[in-house]
Structure 1
Amino acid sequence: MKRVIIIIVVLVVALGGIYLVLTNNKKKNAEKTAFIAEGSGAISVRVADVEKKVVDLDFSANGNFIPKKEIDFLSENAGRVKAIYVEEGDRVTKGQVLARVDAEIINTDRETAEATYQNALKDEARYQSSFSTGGVTQQQLDQAKLTTRNAKLRLQASQRRLSDANIKSPINGIVNKKYIEVGAFVNTQGTKLFELVDVSSLKLRVNVNESQVANLKVGDKINIKSSVFPSDKFSGKITFIASKADETLNFPIEIEVANNNKGSLKAGMYGTAVFNFPQQAPSILIPRTSFVGSVSSNQVYILDKTNNTAKTRTVVSGRILGENVEILDGLKEGETVITSGQINLANGMAVSVVK
Structure 2
Amino acid sequence: MKHYYLFAALILLGTIACSGEKKDSEEEQSVETVLPQATNEVTVMTLHPTDFMHELVSNGKLSARQYVDLRFQSAEPIAQIYVKNGMRVTKGQKLAELDKYRLTNRLAQAKVTLDNSRLELQDLLIGQGYALADSNKVPDNTMKLVRLKSGYDQALHQYEMAAYEEKNAVLTAPFDGVVANLFAKQFNIASTSDVFCTIINPNTLEASFTVLESELPLIQPGDKVEVAPFAINNVKTEGRISEVNPLVDANGMVQVKATVADKGKLFEGMNVRVSIQRSLGKQLVVPKEAVVLRSGRQVVFTLVKEKAYWNYVHTGLENASSYVILDELKEGDIVITSGNINLAHEAPVKVIKEN
TM-score, normalization: structure 2?
Answer: 0.55
Match of 1:152 among 133, 156, 166: 156
Match of 2:204 among 180, 201, 206: 201
Does structure 1 residue 264 correspond to structure 2 residue 268?
no
Q: Which amino acid aligns with 1:210?
A: E
Partner of 1:273: 274
**Deviation at 1:248?**
4.3
- Any conservation in 2 of the 1:124–1:141 contact (CA below 8 Å)? no
1:299-351 Cα offsets, whole Å, 9 max, x none, are: xxxxxxxxxxxxxxxxxxxxx968xxxxxxxxxx99xxxxxxxxxxxxxxxxx
Distance in 1 (CA, whole Å) between partners of 2:142 and 2:250 is: 67
Q: Which amino acid aligns with 2:268?
A: A
1:213-251 Cα offsets, whole Å, 9 max, x none, are: 233233444344567474x76332223323334454332
- For residue 214 of structure 1, give the secondary structure of its aligned residue in structure 2: helix
- Any conservation in 2 of the 1:211–1:321 contact (CA below 8 Å)? no
- Any conservation in 1 of the 2:53–2:279 contact (CA below 8 Å)? no
Q: Which amino acid aligns with 2:153?
A: R
Partner of 1:92: 89
Q: Which amino acid aligns with 1:144?
A: V
**Deviation at 1:105?**
2.2
Partner of 2:103: 106
Instruction: Give unpaired runs (5+ residues) of structure 2.
Output: 1-49, 132-137, 285-315, 319-326, 329-355
Cα root mean square deviation, aligned = 3.5
Q: Which amino acid aligns with 1:155?
A: Y
- Any conservation in 1 of the 2:52–2:279 contact (CA below 8 Å)? no
Does structure 1 residue 82 correspond to structure 2 residue 79?
yes
Q: Map 1:17-96 onto structure 2 (within 5 A).
A: 57-96=54-93
Cα 1:209–1:142 change in 2 (3 A) is: closer
Does structure 1 residue 172 correspond to structure 2 residue 176?
yes
- Any conservation in 1 of the 2:97–2:169 contact (CA below 8 Å)? yes
Cα 1:131–1:180 change in 2 (3 A) is: same
Distance in 2 (CA, whole Å) between partners of 1:158 and 1:102 is: 14
- Any conservation in 2 of the 1:98–1:168 contact (CA below 8 Å)? yes
**Deviation at 1:155?**
1.1
**Deviation at 1:86?**
0.9
- Any conservation in 2 of the 1:221–1:236 contact (CA below 8 Å)? yes
Percent identity between the two aligned chains: 20
Computing the radius of gyration from Cα coordinates, the structure with the larger value is: 2
1:246-280 Cα offsets, whole Å, 9 max, x none, are: 454332311111224xx232334454433232334
TM-score, normalization: structure 1?
Answer: 0.55
Partner of 1:253: 256
Partner of 2:123: 126
1:112-167 Cα offsets, whole Å, 9 max, x none, are: 11111111222222233332289xx9877543334323322221111001111112
Cα 1:219–1:133 change in 2 (3 A) is: closer
Distance in 1 (CA, whole Å) between partners of 2:219 and 2:210 is: 12
Aligned length: 231
Distance in 2 (CA, whole Å) between partners of 1:268 and 1:142 is: 53
- Any conservation in 2 of the 1:131–1:141 contact (CA below 8 Å)? no
- For residue 196 of structure 2, give the secondary structure of its aligned residue in structure 1: strand
Cα 1:219–1:145 change in 2 (3 A) is: farther
- For residue 106 of structure 1, give the secondary structure of its aligned residue in structure 2: helix
